[in-house]
Structures are given as C-alpha cells and as structure tokens.
C-alpha cells in the first residue's frame, strides 16, 4: 500500500472516531430525555458502520490481491503454493472439521489439523462431555475463501497461509441426558433457531502431507487483517522474491 493510500485510510478512520465521539451526547440525550434524539444517533451510527464496512472491504481486496500475487509467483517454484488447490484443501478441511466437531471426536480429522490445535479442540470437547453437553453443527455452508496473508520461509515447516472465510451453519448445544437444546448461537427464535453467518481467519501451516489447519481467529477487523504477513523470504528459489507487508 502506498504512503498516500495509507494516509487516506488513517484519515478516514480518524473521521469515524470523531463521528462516534460527537454521537455520544446524542445517544445519552435520546435515552434519558426523550425519543427524538435517538433517531439521529442511529443514523450516524449507520453511516459510520457503512464507512467502516467500505474501508474493510477495500483492505480485504488489497490484501487478497497482494497475497494472490505472491502465491502466483511462488507456485512457479513450488506447486504447494497453488491457490486453487489451497482453496480446495480449505473447503475440504472446513466441512470435515465441522462434522467431526459436531460428532464430538476430532480423531477422524487429525490429518487435517496440527497436533496442537487438535489436542486443544479435543480437550474442549471432553469438557463438554463431562458436562453432558454436545455441540451440534448442521446445515453447514462455506460462502467464500479469500487469501489475505502468506509467509514463506526457508524452513517449509514454518510456511503459513492466512485465509478469510465466511461460513454459515445452524449451531446449538444439547443436553445429552435430556436431549433438550440448552443454547443456540445467533437468533434463537423459533423451534429450530436460525443459521448464523460468521467470518474467521484461518491459519494453515505446511505439513508432511499438505496444508493443515493450525489456528482459527475471530479477529477479522481492519487491524487484524492488516497485521497478517505477506512475506516471501525463501532464498532457495532461482530468484529472491520479497512481498512487502501491507500495513
């Protein structure tokens, strides 16, 4: 990202912050002194939210362009960096892992996960089991996969790919004794609840048999996306490539 574009981004963020500060007294006045002020505050919040979403979308597009460009270059030296195959791998991991989680056992998908992450999630499932709880995931959908970060190092075991995914599912918790639903995510109106959409950043590391899931994060805001690396530092290729960080 150029210096001019970076300054423009931070200037827009400053305007957003100032708008929120100005909106503060209106919100307080609307809640304590009547209903007329609340509408103006709601409009301001809606505008600020819209501006933020536009900036977030632009940041994601820039990150995706930079990361995809890095993958296209690296693919010529190492087929493991093929973006299409990476996305296919992510899609496969996504559905298999969600089903395994819903079944309460991560062992069948151990080959899709790093040992540390598999152990962490299995411990969480064991905790649910001890409380007679089971997390059910149904009607699972994967709407988009966008590469937003790349880290290529001389040691292949340290290679990473960062992707922003948008998914959707019906997610709820049941009591395994009474078979009753005890908790739903998202909107819980109705007998069956409603599907919940979500964004997550997935980190994949290179394993012996392909890319595996190493971490998931809900830190999908502007700063969370911008801090992800786009670095290609493996000097073993025919030419040295350096992809600048987008910050």
Domain locations in the chain as residue ranges:
3-232
Given this model, what pLDDT does residue 234 score? 78
Which residue, among 240, 237, 221, 211, has the nearest Cα to 63 in the 3D structure? 221
At 28 the pLDDT is 32
The class (CATH top level) of 3-232 is alpha beta
| pLDDT for residue 184 | 80
Q: If the chain, 247 residues long, is cut into consecutive pieces of 10 residues, what is the mean pLDDT of each piece?
A: 49 47 34 48 85 94 96 93 98 96 94 96 95 93 98 95 96 93 66 81 96 97 95 68 45
Q: What is the reported pTM?
A: 0.79
At 49 the pLDDT is 87
Dump the DSSP string for the chain: --HHHHHHHHHHHHHHHHHHHHHHHHHHHHHHH-SHHHHHHHHHHHHHHHHHHHHHHHHHHHHHHHHHHHHHHHHTT-GGG-HHHHHHHHHHHHHHHHHHHHHT--GGGGGGB-HHHHHHHHHHHHHHHHTTEEEEEEEEEEEEEEEEEEEE-SSGGG-EEEEEEEEEEEEEEEETTT--EEEESS---SSS---EEEEEEEEEEEETTEEEEEEEE---SHHHHHTS-EEE--TTSSS--------
The token pair at 247 is: 């910050």
The pLDDT value given to residue 4: 46
**What pLDDT was estimated at residue 27?**
33
């Amino acid at each position: 990202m150029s210096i001019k574009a970076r300054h423009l981004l931070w200037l827009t963020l400053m305007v957003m912050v100032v708008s929120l500060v100005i909106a503060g007294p209106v919100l307080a006045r609307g809640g304590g002194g009547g209903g007329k002020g609340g509408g103006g505050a709601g409009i301001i919040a809606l505008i600020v939210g819209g501006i933020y979403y536009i900036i977030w979308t632009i940041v994601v597009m820039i990150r995706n362009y930079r990361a995809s460009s890095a993958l296209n270059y690296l693919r010529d030296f190492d087929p493991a960096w093929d973006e299409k195959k990476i996305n296919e791998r992510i899609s496969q991991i996504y559905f298999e892992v969600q089903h395994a989680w819903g079944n309460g056992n991560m062992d069948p998908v151990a080959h899709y996960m790093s040992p540390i992450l598999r152990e962490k999630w299995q411990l969480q499932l064991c905790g649910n089991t001890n409380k007679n709880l089971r997390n059910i995931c149904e009607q699972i959908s994967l709407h988009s996969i966008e590469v937003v970060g790349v880290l290529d190092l001389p040691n292949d075991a340290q290679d990473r790919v960062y992707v922003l995914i948008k998914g959707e599912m019906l997610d709820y918790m049941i009591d395994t004794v009474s078979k009753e639903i005890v908790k739903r995510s998202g909107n819980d109106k109705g007998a069956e609840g409603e599907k919940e959409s979500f964004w997550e950043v997935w980190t994949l590391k290179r394993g012996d048999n392909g890319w595996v899931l190493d971490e998931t994060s809900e830190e999908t805001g502007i700063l969370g996306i911008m801090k992800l690396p786009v670095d290609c530092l493996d000097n073993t290729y025919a030419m040295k490539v350096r992809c600048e960080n987008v910050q």
